[in-house]
Amino acid sequence: MLTAPLPVKKLDPRAKLPAYGSADAAGADLYALIDEPVAVRPGETVLIHTGLAMAIPKGYVGLVYARSGLATKQGLAPANKVGVIDADYRGELMVSLHNHSGEMRVVECGDRIAQLVIAPYLTAEFAEAEDLDDTGRGAGGFGSTGAK
């Protein structure tokens, strides 16, 4: 569990720091920082600025997920499904929002547009192998374990 402060730089004084919606929330809300409302047509993807950069510690990653209410009620969710912010990235955090709905949607400055989860990760050392161990599933994929 990361308990040390995570350094966040405001690239614009209007930017809002990520904030947790409840004491046990895993994701902290990210807020739009835009000069004027952005209309998002059905099927369109727009890049929304947050005005923030951060120093994620080595061994951790920032994962940008959809906000469930925004995604289910308005159809706005990250275009890449889960954004990955590497520990060595120091640029601005931006969210590519895609409109999955059939209606025009509008993003306003200060809107909560996504949620950020900070998580530990392992770095693998990939080693080529001639054979892999057997499992009950084997090479079955894409629904091979059943529909229910």
Give the mean pLDDT of the chain. 93
Q: Mean per-residue pLDDT for 68-89?
A: 93
Residue 141 has pLDDT above 90, yes or no: no
Residue 136: pLDDT band (50, 70, 90) is confident
Whole-structure pTM value: 0.88
Range 8-120 has CATH code 3.10.20.30: no
| The pairing of beta strand 112-120 with beta strand 94-99 | unpaired
Q: Tens digit of pLDDT for each residue in 93-103?
A: 999 999 999 99
Residue ranges covered by each domain of the chain: 8-120
